[in-house]
Structure 1
Amino acid sequence: MNSLSAEVVQRLPSLKDKFLVDFVNGIDVAKEQVRFQNERRNFFNRLVDGFTGKGQARQQHINEQMLNGLESSLRWLSEMTEQLTFSNYALEKTTRELTSLKNNVTFLADFSADTREMLNSLAVSINSRLDGLEIRLNDVDMRQRAFQHIDMLISQWRAEYLNCLSIAEQCYAIINELAWGDCGDFLRKCTSCSDRKKLLQYLQTELVNYVCDITGGTPQQRYSSEVLLLSTSQGHSLLVEDFKQSLSYLGSGLSLHNQPLLYFVLQKVDSRPLAVPFLMNANRFVGKVMDESTVEGVLCV
């Protein structure tokens, strides 16, 4: 299987952030052991295990296999976090999962001191990087960096940085990148509802202006939704497919119930949700995308 295009990884930096979080989520020490134990909960099976001693042997084998997998995962994760730069949001989510993981390893009686030390060292390293980022969050220029983040991504968009995607896909890509970066950090840490509202309104205005630029219309002009939801790019088919699969992965947490428009666009469902209109103007379209991408004034991914 071919690796993902380097161009896609470069243009969608949040892929590595989401991958880091998903990877740590996948290191579940307790789940597999509990599942096997539950399968033997039937009294007859437990009785047979008691007579034959197979239950203890089986548990020992499970513990050994999980320890091997855990050590390999932690070693690879440590190397990755040292070599790559991750967003503050990704590091925060990873720290929470590592804390949970450290609690779960108490299920393993044979959890080695070396592996425990590896896990503790990784948590200390990530916490150290978070402390440095926390200082940045207290700087007076955090709000300015949030606005600059929006300006940078919009300018890249205007330069056809993501022109192989539909307008709707581009909107999600931009918002997703903002959520993982300085803009998202500001919205999550800012205690002023007024400041959060101003930033989101600025973002919405910039998105409306771009939609009007690319369509040649006005904010109130109505379009067939296909103009906004379908890609018209004739770019390299493999690259386009990589972009679309990457966006689908980034949007894997969306639900048809809560984000029907974005879910319809990114997950390529067969039937069109009733909540997705057939005619939209730029104001309504961008407003819908923003509503599905925010919760209580914070960008969500």
Structure 2
Amino acid sequence: MSSVLPGTQTRTLECVAEKFVVDFAKNSGVARERWHSQQSKAYYQRLTGEFIGRSQSQKWATDEALLETPEFTLTMLGQLCQRVAKKHRAMAKVYEIVRSMAAASARVNNEAHEVRQLSAQVQQQLALRVDNLEAQLNGTDLMHLGIVHCEQVFARWQTGHYLSFSPAGRCYVALQELYWGTFGDALRFGSTLQASELIEQARALAISQLAQDVNASARTRHYYYEWLMFPSTPDMMESKEALAWLGDDCDSDNHPVIFATTQTHMGVSLGMPRICSAMRLGSAMVDEMFN
């Protein structure tokens, strides 16, 4: 089964599948985390129906107690990691979450023997998957792969794949694609110099494409609402929800530009410049994402 969902532009983003599996792990059972907005929660719930299967999720939804059980969480995580998430970052994050869940349960010593066995089995499967992915990465030219991935993502932006988002939203979506994909792997496993060069490539492409989207030079300043305005399309509300979900982990203090871009329902953060150019906006967003 393909990890890319059919349908609107938001569902064809490769980062959606990777982030969803991590969020499923974070928001299940004892590891449940609070959503920062109703928009994020709504989009996540919609994805749950798509990735798990509507008939199955509806059946589970009739029994809320089942959704809270570690058996359900671990079984579903094992399945999702096999058929949905493909990249190292997501696998590593899920592995750490499962380990933390197991450690927390061990401290209170309230898990049945069958659950401990299932947890150990899932951890073993994830550890093997992470090791295999790392071995593949260490045997490749990460710099080349990172460059190619970066060029591919920005080429998709240039050819209209992210047009349902605001100009700033398109930039964030592109950076999310890089973060969860091969580009992100190259940053983590490559040298410091390679990572710096890749980030500068992403910065230059982000600034250039932002300027093109508003038909101006990279240094021309615009009021912030021009960067944050969504085009009027049939998919506008879903695009807003998707962007809110993709940026749900950010906060207004540490990621003011990303927060203003993704959490448009919350008002503009103080750190978001009220008048800014493509150069300032794109550079700030790259720094908040990767530095």
Provide the TM-score with structure 2 as the length reference. Answer: 0.79
Question: Residue by residue, what CA displacement relative to the aligned partner does 1:195-221 show, whole Å, maximum 9, x if unpaired?
Answer: 211111111111122122222222222
Question: Residue by residue, what CA displacement relative to the aligned partner does 1:10-35 show, whole Å, maximum 9, x if unpaired?
Answer: 3222223222222222345499xxxx
Amino acid paired to 2:26: N
Amino acid paired to 1:256: S
Amino acid paired to 1:185: D
The verdict on how the C-alpha distance between 1:108 and 1:156 changes in structure 2, with shifts beyond 3 A counting, is same
**Any unmatched runs of 5+ in structure 1?**
32-64, 296-301
Q: Distance in 2 between matches of 1:85 and 1:9?
A: 17
Counterpart residue number, 2:290? 294
SS in 1 for 2:222: strand
Within 5 A, what are the aligned runs for 1:1-301? 6-8=7-9, 10-29=11-30, 69-107=69-107, 109=109, 111-192=111-192, 194-231=193-230, 233-236=231-234, 239-269=235-265, 271-295=267-291
Q: Verify the 8 A CA contact 2:9 2:161 in the aligned structure 1.
A: no
Amino acid paired to 2:138: N
Q: Verify the 8 A CA contact 1:208 1:283 in the aligned structure 2.
A: yes
Question: Residue by residue, what CA displacement relative to the aligned partner does 1:25-74 show, whole Å, maximum 9, x if unpaired?
Answer: 2345499xxxxxxxxxxxxxxxxxxxxxxxxxxxxxxxxx7997111222
Percent sequence identity over matched residues? 21
The verdict on how the C-alpha distance between 1:124 and 1:217 changes in structure 2, with shifts beyond 3 A counting, is same
SS in 1 for 2:69: helix
Farther-moved stretch of structure 1 (21-30 vs 79-88): 21-30
**Any unmatched runs of 5+ in structure 2?**
33-64
Q: Verify the 8 A CA contact 2:29 2:67 in the aligned structure 1.
A: no
How many residue pairs get aligned? The number is: 255
SS in 1 for 2:205: helix
SS in 2 for 1:154: helix
Q: Distance in 2 between matches of 1:286 and 1:161?
A: 18
Amino acid paired to 2:200: Q
SS in 1 for 2:165: coil
Counterpart residue number, 1:43? none
Counterpart residue number, 1:299? none
SS in 1 for 2:276: strand
Question: Residue by residue, what CA displacement relative to the aligned partner does 1:69-115 show, whole Å, maximum 9, x if unpaired?
Answer: 11122222222222223321011011111111222222465633322
Q: Verify the 8 A CA contact 2:29 2:68 in the aligned structure 1.
A: no
Q: Distance in 1 between matches of 2:246 and 2:259?
A: 11
SS in 2 for 1:124: helix
Farther-moved stretch of structure 1 (77-86 vs 158-167): 77-86
Q: Verify the 8 A CA contact 1:30 1:107 in the aligned structure 2.
A: no
Q: Distance in 2 between matches of 1:119 and 1:105?
A: 10
The verdict on how the C-alpha distance between 1:5 and 1:134 changes in structure 2, with shifts beyond 3 A counting, is closer
SS in 2 for 1:153: helix
The verdict on how the C-alpha distance between 1:279 and 1:110 changes in structure 2, with shifts beyond 3 A counting, is closer
Q: CA RMSD in A?
A: 2.5
Question: Residue by residue, what CA displacement relative to the aligned partner does 1:259-293 show, whole Å, maximum 9, x if unpaired?
Answer: 11221221124543333223222211211212222
Q: Verify the 8 A CA contact 2:224 2:275 in the aligned structure 1.
A: yes
Q: Distance in 2 between matches of 1:278 and 1:173?
A: 21
The verdict on how the C-alpha distance between 1:29 and 1:216 changes in structure 2, with shifts beyond 3 A counting, is closer
Farther-moved stretch of structure 1 (194-203 vs 111-120): 111-120
Counterpart residue number, 1:298? none
SS in 2 for 1:274: coil
SS in 1 for 2:8: helix
Amino acid paired to 1:260: P
Counterpart residue number, 2:51? none
Question: Residue by residue, what CA displacement relative to the aligned partner does 1:148-175 show, whole Å, maximum 9, x if unpaired?
Answer: 1111111111111010111100111111
The verdict on how the C-alpha distance between 1:188 and 1:72 changes in structure 2, with shifts beyond 3 A counting, is same
The verdict on how the C-alpha distance between 1:152 and 1:272 changes in structure 2, with shifts beyond 3 A counting, is same
